[in-house]
Chain A
């Protein structure tokens, strides 16, 4: 269980994340949403130890994440950030193998190979496992990175804007995979999302941030309604129900 307690981070004198407290529900998708500069990515980076908080703490199983040993932590929590790995020529399988690094330190055992094979099967990457990453499309590459995280076999999977640069088809594909990770493998997924409708349709819980503070947080139904959305985005957004999905029609709002 991950618990964020009174977390604050300043860049200069300006607080980017300001006194945030959130409990992450296990075996569910939690989405961080909010306008640009709300502090979503910074918050996720602190949870995953990529950034140090100024004050406050993040607890994993009731002990501060800073106190965890790096390799033990890497077996419990994984993070995929939106960065450019384009210039590294690894094959898909090599990349996925590195997911086992916290366990094997690079000397793969038979058990590691099994995890790698399963991850490849799970993400349907079998026929492209020997291709170099720079030969893949954006969606395929994203799937390869998610397969690596599956091989890493952590309870918690954190993703920073995984839909960036993906077209509609691949965005839907990735979100369905994340849903499967929760429903079939019992993972806990925390995700920073830009698109409110992907958050609405696929997440169980939503944490809405604005200017570094939590405006609203709770089950998706409580957040995706006109009043809550006005508070988060300063926009009047009608919500329509379509095939059981609650869609925010923000395109002509003011």
Chain B
């Protein structure tokens, strides 16, 4: 049976995934993504700078592609860092309350300032994402029963609590509609001028790569890190700050994309291991490929309309997540 084969991991282990394969896939999908949409654009249209097609291309298609690339790479790496630092394969921005905390931050900023500026939203969202994730790590430190499945369940409950606080205050402040628009991860509304915040995740991703070895060592536990002379708390804080930056920029521009930070790092871990220096490039490119596929599917299925990307990611992602859960104990121990 296909399902059993997947469970036993034959498919993934059978293919020796190389970085260049992923990069080629990402390039091909990027080109496809640029030329799909309600308005037909041919490559030849782009030769004329003044044409309407060229304008659409520059204002809508290209920003959309860049947003997908940055969000895909960013969320996957954020997940990878969280899994390494929490030493749990199923902890990610979705399953540790990070995204819910970022959302709560946006709401609080709306309640605090009547005419909230973009910068204020960014700062509040970042602060809440950081504190929210930190709080979850503290909870994680305190619970004795650290089962692979149990920990993310606590994280999901914790996220739901944050989420219901958000809903309550949003209801009181008549902001429900506003907040719900953050809930839905979608690239439909991405146009030039509305996604540039995502560029902030580029330095975060580069820093993550520079810190890769430190994250791997910290992922072996506090005692192990101290034995090698590494300042564990410092690395932990850097990691959480990077996660908060990435989560904030994605939530504020694209919205909530579930599962991405959960499944992509896990698939890479299965065939490449947990040495972050090695896995970060794979994780980033696979995140891009995965998100491109989901976005293209969402645009093609009900053409010329669109399904928001968070729906397609959730459908495909939850299926893969279930498979991982079933075979979870085999490798995530």
Contacts and interface: CB of A to CB of B under 8 A. Distances in A.
A98 B223 contact: no
Nearest to A105: B213
Contact of A101 (B213, B269, B274, B332): B213
Interface in A63-108: 69-75, 78-81, 83, 85-91, 94, 98-99, 101-102, 105-106
A89 B274 CA distance: 5
Contacts of B327: none
Contacts of B214: 106
Nearest to B146: A84
A74 to B, nearest CB: 3
Contacts of B333: 86-87, 134
B11 to A, nearest CB: 18
B interface, over-half SS: loop
Given A71-B229, A134-B333, 5 more contacts: A75-B229, A86-B333, A87-B88, A88-B220, A98-B213
B231 A83 contact: no
Nearest to B210: A106
Nearest to B213: A106
Interface in B215-235: 216-217, 219-221, 223-224, 226-231
Interface string A144-166: 00000000100000000000000
B211 to A, nearest CB: 10
Interface of A: 48-50, 69-75, 78-81, 83, 85-91, 94, 98-99, 101-102, 105-106, 132, 134, 152
Nearest to A45: B223
B328 to A, nearest CB: 11
Contacts of B229: 69-75, 101-102
Interface residues of B, number: 28
A98 B221 CA distance: 13
B17 to A, nearest CB: 15
A53 to B, nearest CB: 15
B228 A74 contact: yes
Nearest to A88: B274
Contacts of A73: 229
A198 to B, nearest CB: 23
B332 A79 contact: no
Count chain B CB atoms within 10 A of each CB in A86, A87, A94 and give the residue with the most. A87
Contacts of A71: 229
B112 interface: no
Given A87-B89, A101-B213, A70 B221 contact: no
Given A49-B226, A70-B230, A106 B277 contact: yes
Q: Which 7 A-B pairs have the closest CB atoms?
A: A74-B229, A106-B213, A71-B229, A70-B229, A89-B273, A101-B228, A89-B274
Interface string B256-281: 00000000000001000111010000
Nearest to B228: A101
B223 A50 contact: yes
Interface string B187-228: 000000000000000000000000011101101110110111
B297 to A, nearest CB: 31
A2 to B, nearest CB: 16
A98 B228 contact: yes
B269 to A, nearest CB: 6
Given A90-B274, A101-B217, A106-B277, A134 B223 contact: no
Contacts of A79: 223, 227
A66 to B, nearest CB: 13
A14 to B, nearest CB: 20
Nearest to A69: B229
B275 A85 contact: no
A48 B228 CA distance: 11
